[in-house]
A = this chain, B = another copy of it.
């Protein structure tokens, strides 16, 4: 399989390391992956016989400007990849823009329309235009993998698509944000207030300096939106989600819940009923006998209910760039295995 990597940040670099690490595992699937293009802002690398990953990994440990690597040039663009028509699959890891989806959206459209499989880790295009992208892919007989956009290593989208095949999902519940998991757990364990737990999370590099995306629930809302549109065939937008974050929770709330053998979690939930579809993100009190009770720290989880297969809970999702890259590789392998997403 000849591929292009578009967007070459931490996860992109991890993906090149991973392709090397997993060579033997991929060989069991008769899959050999050759990276012919890497494109980042300011240029890229093009080696028609495949970039030497060993040398590249060593090079990027010291150097930042990939155009200085053999095969590198400031002229290499996504347009060239499309017109060269050499690759089978493109991995698009552009930075997320939730308003426009750009530049990932245009790249994905151009590559799908050129008959290339696409694996997207950029949430923007998926949140804004999943049904259109899926239609593009389907018209060209290629696949669109988005398994890494909703919880990384946690196979949330894939689980819903493959493990629920032939059934109709009627509700989705997810604990999908690691930062809020950390803060809530820290408050529980240390009996401290929200502000202190947030500060610790920021000091550990778990929460960002501006943490609003996570703590106000919008990261969870974005992931819930993707799961809902993909698994229920909807075309909802972020405006359809009622979103509450965790910023107003107090130590007292957590203590009272603990006395009832309960814990608070930030839960994204979509429920289909006769009155329509309701999407919410909010703190929910979960009792010890519920399966989502022990989901904390790095773990994430989704729970699907469906018409014929009962409920399915998936828990997992290791953090870090290697698991994130591995969730991209998983989509590539499933596409290689012929799966129609």
Interface residues, chain A, with chain B CB atoms under 8 Å away = 18, 21-22, 25-26, 28-29, 153-155, 158-159, 162-168, 233, 288-291, 293-295, 298-299, 307-318, 322-323, 325-327, 329-330, 332-334, 337-340
Partner of A28, one of B233, B307, B310, B333: B233
- Chain B, residue nearest A18 (CB): B308
A312-B309 contact, Cβ under 8 Å, with A166-B26, A330-B163, A332-B166: no
Number of identical protomers: 2
Cα(A263)–Cα(B321), bound, Å: 35
Chain B residues, CB < 8 A from A316: 309-313
Chain B residues, CB < 8 A from A154: 312
Q: Can you sample 12 A-B contacts with CB below 8 Å? A: A22-B167, A158-B162, A159-B314, A165-B330, A167-B329, A167-B330, A288-B294, A290-B294, A291-B295, A291-B299, A311-B318, A312-B315
B326 x A308 contact (CB < 8 A) = yes
- Chain B, residue nearest A314 (CB): B314
A313-B310 contact, Cβ under 8 Å, with A25-B166, A166-B333, A332-B166: no
5 smallest CB-CB distances across A and B, nearest first, come from: A310-B318, A155-B163, A308-B326, A165-B333, A312-B316
Cα(A338)–Cα(B315), bound, Å: 27
A330 x B309 contact (CB < 8 A) = yes
A327 x B309 contact (CB < 8 A) = yes
Counting chain B CB atoms within 10 Å of each CB, the highest count among A164, A291, A309 belongs to: A309
- Chain B, residue nearest A319 (CB): B310
Chain B residues, CB < 8 A from A28: 233
Cα(A308)–Cα(B326), bound, Å: 6
- Chain B, residue nearest A293 (CB): B294
Cα(A312)–Cα(B21), bound, Å: 20
- Contacts A163-B163, A310-B317 known; list 12 others, CB within 8 Å: A22-B167, A155-B312, A158-B163, A162-B162, A165-B330, A165-B334, A165-B337, A166-B332, A291-B295, A291-B299, A309-B316, A312-B314
